[in-house]
Every structure is written in C-alpha cells, then in structure tokens.
A and B are shown apart, each in its own frame.
Chain A
Amino acid sequence: GAVVSQHPSWVICKSGTSVKIECRSLDFQATTMFWYRQFPKQSLMLMATSNEGSKATYEQGVEKDKFLINHASLTLSTLTVTSAHPEDSSFYICSAVSGRNTGELFFGEGSRLTVL
C-alpha cells in the first residue's frame, strides 16, 4: 500500500516556541492531505484539510494562526504549531489521498508533541 511518513515522530519543546511537523507521501502524489490531533484516550479530531497550492481549510474551532499548514508540493504538507503551550501537547496525525480511487485513506504514523 501507499506510504505516508511523518517527521518527527516525537518532539519536546519549551513553551512559546514553534514546532514544525512534516507529512510526506513517499510513493504517490497527494493533492489533498488532512491533519488530525488526538488527545490521550480520545478519538481523532479533524483539524484541517490541506490542498496543494492553496490555503488550508480549517475546521470550526481550530485557530488557523496557531496551526499553520503549508502544502507546497504534491508530496509534502507541514503543520507548524506556533507559540506552543502545554495544552497543545497532543498526538498529531496526517493522512493523504492517493488519487487512485481505492477508497483507502493513508495515514502517517503520528507525531507526539510535548510542550513543557
């Protein structure tokens, strides 16, 4: 199956700093990627839809200035958590649409962010 890779898989940062998480589709081009966040023992919450070459579409309640999404190429989308605070600590997961119309959405391994 298609492979989606996230980097870093885990990151620890100080409060007030910004953290960038990358999501790459390794063997296919993804015009659309999605970003989710997941708190412990909870389900995935959709944050935004990322389309190559255009602005991301954010879900209600997600601050676009806080969570900057860039989808500059067909194989890379980035999520930057700006001025991170402890409450931003979470598991961030991306997914990518392969365009093969298989009905399958491919997910990355997730990136665990801990803000001290």
Chain B
Amino acid sequence: EDQVTQSPEALRLQEGESSSLNCSYTVSGLRGLFWYRQDPGKGPEFLFTLYSAGEEKEKERLKATLTKKESFLHITAPKPEDSATYLCAVQVSSKLTFGTGTRLQVTL
C-alpha cells in the first residue's frame, strides 16, 4: 500500500528563518510527486510536480527536491504570507495519495 509521511506536523518560524519540510514515501512505480499549499477553508493550491530523482523546481521562496525515497520543500527567508499547510502527494495510478501535511506558521 502506498504510504506518504510528512514531517514535522507543525513548524513555527520567524520571518526570514529558512527551513525544510520533509515528505517520505513508499510506493511501487512512482509517476509523480506533488506539492500543494492549503489555506484554512480553501482547496489545495498546486505548487510543484517532480517526476524523477534528482529533479528540482523553484518558485519564489520555495524549492522542491526529490530523491528515491523522499522529497524536501525548502523555504528560504519565509514571510508571514507563507503560513499555510503544505501537502505532499504521490501518484502511482491516476489518483493522488496525500500525506497529512505540515502546518507552517511564520511570525514577524
């Protein structure tokens, strides 16, 4: 059975304090690994797709990387508006299997 584990469950950072979120996975035949951002009361917002080990993608203060067993979402110099829950998901067939997310809070 496909498994996705995200850590930490919650993370509190000061503005400008860089950190990384982890997503470890156990799947057979990974088609893609996805990162989403979810704000309270809203639907997940697509951030990145990674398809193969060694791949990296960047968007503003976010950078996602992928190995054969895990993915990292690096947040550089975060701002309060980066506060959200970050979700990781793996795709084997057509469906996505999600982790439970990391709740990030960035304070001034």
Partners in one complex: no
| Chain B positions near chain A (C-beta within 8 angstroms) | none
